[in-house]
């Protein structure tokens, strides 16, 4: 692996990348935020803000530990502006010839156990996954929003997913309203003519999120929905008889009114255009079953975007789904695109396992949200900077964890060299010693 140490250039490159985030911040605040970003990036296994301060921040800054707690908890960090900045950076990395591909916003929530009752919005919540052996969990609920964009690397089009916003849900707040708010803020950054596809599981296509889809012409939805969702056939043709024509056809049953004649993996799939009570316009319904004889194996998905309106060329369809002919590929395209929703689960797992997502020791809601969103910004940085700055292009296919470790090592080496040189210059004129150290370090890196 090519080393990142470049004689002091790594920190400068990171400052260039992060500089758009500091536009609305004062100079002292911007300096502290940048140092926090570097600390999160360079320290493996973060235990708390105090841990970051002890092992990194106090070595590079004269600011006190309380000043960093105040920075996080004061509530003056413009998280909406930071979210929109992340989206703008991500869009700048997409090549012009890939802008016709669909872009995805993915919404979901995750639970974070906490052991202590003094945190804001600490609550007992139902845990459907029973991660701790119980159906209930004490801690926090975060609603997360992820952006997935098409990029070109290794000779193929690949989608890269990055977290762009987290919100901590209090007991009195509605997850759907928080999600709709974050979606609306994100859409303000995209060009008005760009279609954005929202991906979510069966919890979210209702309430405020459902209302946001028809109200915003940019937004489309591909979602899993409850199997008991009411489906209707398209309106019958006018009969010429007196009276108001029917607005909906007959009620459909997913077990009997869908021809499961397509195969993908271990599932059979049936598709057709239908009407629902969720949206005023027809939607594309997709029914899957692993065992058609077992009613409990059926799943229902809907798409407000018809397959023929999804801009992916036939060559790309043939490359992505070679086992089927192109017409079947087109029919199943919304169902396959729903698979991108899984990337938010991967990000939740990576951030909790490798990025110390839950190791915050800040009590206020503002402080918790700011810290969690800082980790999301740093995660997005290591994913996007190889596509933005050519000197890091060799890292494009590496995982976020590998990139974090490499950047962290480079930051630590540059800070060590800077501290070493400063200490020597403050004592004697040690140019010969400095040059000898540089030669030794270059020789060391060559192995």
Residue 445 belongs to a domain: no
- Of 353, 382, 408, the one marking the end of a domain is 353
What is the residue whose two structure tokens read 């594309």? 284
For residue 132, the domain's CATH number is 3.90.350
Residue 2 belongs to a domain: no
Residue 270 belongs to a domain: yes
Residue 88 belongs to a domain: no
In terms of domains, do 218 and 146 share one?
yes
SS3 labels along 294-352: CHHHEEEEEECCCHHHCCCCHHHHHHHCCCCCHHHHHHHHHHHHHHHHHHHHHHHHHHH
In terms of domains, do 114 and 199 share one?
yes
Cβ(219)–Cβ(198) below 8 Å: yes
Lookup: tokens for 371: 């810290």
Q: For the chain, report the end-to-end CA distance as a whole number of angstroms.
A: 11
In a structure prediction context, what are the per-residue pLDDT tens digits for the chain, which is 447 residues long? 444 444 568 999 999 999 999 999 999 999 999 999 999 999 988 988 999 999 999 988 889 999 999 999 986 899 999 999 999 999 999 999 888 899 999 999 999 888 877 888 888 877 766 666 677 788 899 999 999 999 988 778 899 999 999 999 998 899 999 999 999 999 999 998 899 999 999 999 999 999 999 999 999 999 999 999 999 999 888 777 777 778 888 999 999 999 998 888 889 999 999 999 999 999 999 999 999 999 899 999 999 999 988 876 555 555 554 444 444 568 899 999 999 999 999 999 999 999 989 888 888 999 999 999 999 999 999 999 999 999 999 999 999 999 999 999 999 888 877 655 555 555 545 555 555 556 555 544 443
In terms of domains, do 343 and 378 share one?
no
In terms of domains, do 247 and 147 share one?
yes
Which residues span the domain enclosing 409?
9-78+360-434
| Residues 6 or more apart whose Cβ sits within 8 Å of residue 92 | 388
For residue 128, give the DSSP letter. T
| 274-309 per-residue burial string, b: 16 or more CB within 10 A, e: under 16 | bbbebeeebbbbbbbbeeeeeeeebbbbbbbbebee
Lookup: tokens for 176: 């759907």
Q: For position 371, what pLDDT does the model report?
A: 94
In terms of domains, do 402 and 341 share one?
no
In terms of domains, do 314 and 193 share one?
yes
**Domain count along the chain:** 2
Residue 109 belongs to a domain: yes
- Of 305, 322, 353, the one marking the end of a domain is 353
Q: For position 131, what pLDDT does the model report?
A: 64
Residue 120 belongs to a domain: yes
Residue 133 belongs to a domain: yes
In terms of domains, do 50 and 109 share one?
no
Give residue 149's Cα distance to chain centre.
10
In terms of domains, do 179 and 222 share one?
yes
Question: pTM of the predicted model, to two decimals?
Answer: 0.87
What is the residue whose two structure tokens read 């502290």? 32
In terms of domains, do 73 and 113 share one?
no
In terms of domains, do 26 and 164 share one?
no
Residue 106 belongs to a domain: yes
């Amino acid at each position: 692996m090519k080393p990142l140490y470049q004689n002091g250039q790594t920190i400068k490159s990171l400052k260039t990348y992060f500089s758009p985030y500091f536009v609305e911040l004062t100079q002292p605040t911007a300096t502290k935020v940048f140092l926090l970003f570097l600390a999160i990036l360079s320290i493996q296994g973060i235990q708390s803000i105090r841990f970051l301060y002890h092992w990194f921040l106090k070595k590079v800054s004269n600011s006190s530990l309380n000043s960093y707690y105040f920075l996080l908890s004061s509530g003056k960090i413009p998280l909406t502006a930071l979210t929109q900045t992340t989206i703008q950076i991500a869009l700048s990395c997409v090549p012009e010839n890939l802008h016709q591909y669909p872009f995805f916003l993915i919404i979901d929530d995750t639970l974070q156990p906490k052991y202590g009752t003094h945190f804001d919005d600490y609550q007992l919540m139902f845990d459907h996954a029973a991660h701790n052996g119980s159906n209930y969990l004490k801690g926090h609920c975060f609603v997360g929003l992820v952006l997935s964009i098409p990029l070109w690397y290794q000779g193929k089009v690949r989608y890269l997913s990055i977290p762009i916003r987290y919100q901590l849900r209090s007991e009195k707040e509605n997850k759907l309203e928080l999600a709709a708010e974050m979606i609306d803020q994100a859409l303000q950054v995209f060009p008005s003519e760009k279609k954005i596809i929202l991906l979510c599981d069966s919890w979210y296509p209702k309430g405020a999120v459902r209302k946001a889809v028809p109200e915003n012409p940019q937004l489309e939805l591909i979602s899993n929905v409850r199997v008991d969702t009411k489906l209707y056939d398209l309106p019958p043709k006018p009969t010429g008889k007196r009276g108001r024509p029917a607005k909906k056809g007959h009620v459909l049953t997913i077990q009997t009114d869908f021809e499961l004649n397509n195969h993908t993996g271990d599932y059979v799939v049936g598709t057709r255009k239908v009407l629902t009570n969720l949206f005023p316009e027809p939607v594309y319904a997709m029914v899957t079953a692993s065992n058609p004889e077992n009613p409990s194996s059926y799943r229902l998905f809907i798409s407000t975007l018809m397959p023929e309106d999804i801009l992916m060329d036939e060559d790309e369809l043939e490359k992505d789904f070679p086992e089927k002919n192109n017409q079947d590929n087109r029919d199943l395209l919304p169902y396959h695109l729903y698979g991108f929703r899984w990337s938010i689960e991967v990000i939740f797992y990576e951030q909790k396992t490798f990025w110390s997502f839950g190791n915050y020791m800040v009590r206020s809601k503002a402080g918790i949200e700011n810290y969690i969103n800082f980790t999301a910004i740093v995660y997005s940085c290591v994913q996007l900077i190889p596509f933005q700055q050519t000197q890091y292009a060799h890292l494009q296919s590496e995982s976020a964890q590998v990139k974090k470790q490499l950047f962290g090592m480079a930051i630590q080496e540059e800070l060590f060299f800077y501290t070493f040189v400063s200490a020597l210059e403050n004592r004697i004129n040690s140019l010969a010693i400095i040059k000898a150290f540089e030669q030794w370090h270059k020789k060391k890196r060559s192995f």
